Amino acid sequence: MSRVYLDHNATTPVHPEVLEAMLPFLTDGFGNPSSTHWAGLEVAPHVDRARASVARLIGAKPEEIIFTGGGSEGDNMAIKGVLMRAGKGAHCVTSEVEHPAIYSTCKMLEGYGFEFTYVPVDKYGIVSPVEVQKAMRPETALVSIMFANNETGAINSIVEISEIVRQYGALMHTDAVQCVGKIPVNVNSLGVDMLTSSGHKFNAPKGVGFQYVREGVETVPLISGGSQEFGVRAGTENVPGIVGIGAACKVAMREMRKRHDELGAMRDRLERGILEAVPGVVVNGHAERRVYNTLNMSFPGIEGEALMTLLNQEGIAVSTGSACASDSGKPSRILGAMGLDAVRSRGTLRISLGYGNSEQDIDYVLEKLPPLANRLIEMSPLGS
């Protein structure tokens, strides 16, 4: 049976160059980078080099890069680190479509004396800068708006939002987990103070990420203890992971253009093919303002879950939404915020492309998916 992986927004395979870069640090290069003997002295420069590669990819200074345990940690670091520093009563503006690492963290902190405003999105899943402006208060310490959405690929106007946030003297954080390594990300042109990235979403391993923290921005450490990572993130460094994410940044820099063109063309061909072969299908999100690798579609009157299961039997891995929410069985909060009704929401499939996908993968999906979808639609009491 063919195996086709089209769930790159959930996680990605490790790139061979990344693996190769990491391997020495799982064998001889085991030293603790804080040690001042040979074992530590040998590995410490590799952590510095990885930091420089990360910084180069996003236009930051190496001292502004903090290695973390991934996207969820970075998101928590931004929200908790800034609000705890600002103190009780501090206000934070975020959106209704954030990843649970932001959204659930904010909901939880409502019980600890902090205040939150969740700005709505339009029917494309995009946050309006005007809505952010309306939500700003004198005591707003932080605005956290994701760069691109993990379910729809919708891209927000971070430049415009950062501009507003600066006028109010608050800090601007963006969850750029779905952007780093895929589309150009430059912290200076974006105007953000903090930015979160996760290695496993762009061909580095799981359990490593980085946080951009603009020079001069002070936060309370999420993980306190030792003085690693400029005293902002304690704990012995995950050297293999850090070297891996550094290598992934180099690969991304080199291949970004090519991937954009090739994978984007494949995504568009897949979208056209499905729209032609399955009557009643609609694409969720904006036609242009979305990441080139993501396709979110609703099939009329059926359960996305059922289609996903049938596709899995053919070796095709896709998702019904975010991997983190799809086991809860509830319709997507993101699609709900976009105004989709529960039926359309439930009939949703998220297909996300990435490194390793080929034209043959698209051919295979275009052969298997339409008959399966059409059969489910025919059987559905709600079908068109």
Ligand X SMILES: *Cc1c(COP(=O)(O)O)cnc(C)c1O
List residues near ligand X by CB under 6 A.
70-72, 75, 99, 101, 146, 150, 175, 177-178, 198, 200-201, 209
Q: Could you tell me the smallest distance in angstroms from the CB atom of residue 42 to ligand X?
A: 28
Nearer to ligand X, 295 or 372 (CB): 295
Q: Could you tell me the smallest distance in angstroms from the CB atom of residue 176 to ligand X?
A: 8
Nearer to ligand X, 298 or 352 (CB): 352
- Which residue is closest to ligand X by CB? 71
Concerning whether 324 is annotated as a catalytic residue, the answer is yes
Q: Could you tell me the smallest distance in angstroms from the CB atom of residue 177 to ligand X?
A: 4
Nearer to ligand X, 154 or 302 (CB): 154
Q: Which of 92, 106, 249, 324 is catalytic?
A: 324
Nearer to ligand X, 324 or 343 (CB): 324
Q: Could you tell me the smallest distance in angstroms from the CB atom of residue 148 to ligand X?
A: 7
d(CA 162, CA 221): 23
Nearest 5°: CA angle at 125, between 121 and 129?
A: 45
Q: Could you tell me the smallest distance in angstroms from the CB atom of residue 279 to ligand X?
A: 31
Nearer to ligand X, 71 or 321 (CB): 71
SS3 per residue for the chain = CCCEECECCCCCCCCHHHHHHHHHHHCCCCCCCCCCCHHHHHHHHHHHHHHHHHHHHHCCCHHHEEEECCHHHHHHHHHHHHHHHHCCCCEEEEECCCCHHHHHHHHHHHHHCCEEEEECECCCCCECHHHHHHHCCCCEEEEECCCECCCCCEECCHHHHHHHHHHCCCEEEEECCCCCCCCCCCHHHHCCCEEEEEHHHCCCCCCCEEEEECCCCCCCCCECCCCCHHHCECCCCCHHHHHHHHHHHHHHHHHHHHHHHHHHHHHHHHHHHHHHHCCCCEECCCCCCECCCEEEEECCCCCHHHHHHHHHHCCEECECCCCCCCCCCCCCHHHHHCCCCHHHHHCEEEEECCCCCCHHHHHHHHHHHHHHHHHHHHHCCCCC
Q: Could you tell me the smallest distance in angstroms from the CB atom of residue 11 to ligand X?
A: 7
Nearer to ligand X, 29 or 184 (CB): 184
Residues with catalytic function: 324
